[in-house]
Amino acid sequence: MATAQTGEWNISAVVRGLLITSSKIYPNPNNPSFDLRIVNTPFTSVTGYGGEIRIQRFGTSYFLYLSAEVLSELRSEQKLDGSINPPRRVPVDDGYRMIPVELGGQVYVPIGSQSWKLSMGGGIGAYHTERIYSIAGVSAQSVGNRFGFGIHVSINMEYLVLPKVSITAGIKFRDPEVDVRNKFEVASTTYNNGIIALPQGEFPSRINVDGMTLSAGLRLEIL
């Protein structure tokens, strides 16, 4: 992390940890039945990390930022597989990885003090997303488009703990929804001396990160 003064502009860097309150994977997004389309696998308390570059003109009450984050969650379960005779439970891993890249701006609210500040704002984002899915240790590879786009709004608080060092905390609201596809490269695999038939062809999924994003981290300024 580094900060540098360039003419009339101040550039600072932020690192933060993240907690996403809720997200979902829809395994049947294109099914003609509404009841099947809305079936989903929920994920709560998803963790991640991120960084941000800020630029602020001296004497102004606003700043611009470019941020990047990594969100990832994986759930392991034993599911009944009817392709084996007799049917038995096999390990299934299901989850997703999302990399949001967001551009935006924030305005400092005229409250607070020299030690702490509150800012509000928002912006646009691009969301690189892939589903992580495997059956009995065989992974389904991501294929095709993996990007979605959206907007966000956020509120941040900063507290100066040392000269040029601030603790930051924030909350962000966004609702990216990305359609992705996966494909198994083999038709079957073996598990506990049984042959498991794997789905063939590309299968779609929809990943929706609709929960609040809570964050905490550090901002550094070095003039």
Domain that holds residue 51: 4-220
- How many C-beta neighbours within 10 Å does residue 212 have? 12
Show pLDDT as tens, one digit a residue, over the chain (223 residues). 444 444 588 899 999 999 999 999 999 999 999 999 999 999 999 999 999 999 998 888 899 999 999 999 999 999 887 666 677 889 999 999 999 999 999 999 988 787 899 999 999 999 999 999 999 999 999 998 889 999 999 999 999 999 889 999 999 999 999 999 999 999 999 888 888 889 899 999 999 999 999 999 999 997 6
Give the β-pairing of 41-57 and 62-81.
Answer: antiparallel
Residue 49 has a pLDDT of 97
pLDDT value of position 4 = 47
Which CATH number goes with the domain that contains 42?
2.40.160.20
How far are the Cα atoms of 40, 58, 78, 137, 194 from residue 93, in angstroms, in the given order?
Answer: 15, 50, 9, 8, 19
Residue 36 vs residues 28, 71, 72, 205: alpha-carbon distances, Å: 6, 26, 25, 12
d(CA 65, CA 162): 22
Q: What's the rounded Cα separation, in Å, for the pair 78 and 81?
A: 9
* In contact, 130 and 183? CB cutoff 8 Å: no
Instruction: Round to whole Å and give the CA distance between 96 and 46.
Output: 10
As a whole number of angstroms, the distance between CA 2 and CA 13 comes to: 6
CB atoms within 10 A of CB 13: 17
With left for phi above 0 and alpha for psi between -120 and 50, is residue 72 left, alpha or beta?
A: beta
- Report the domain count for the chain: 1
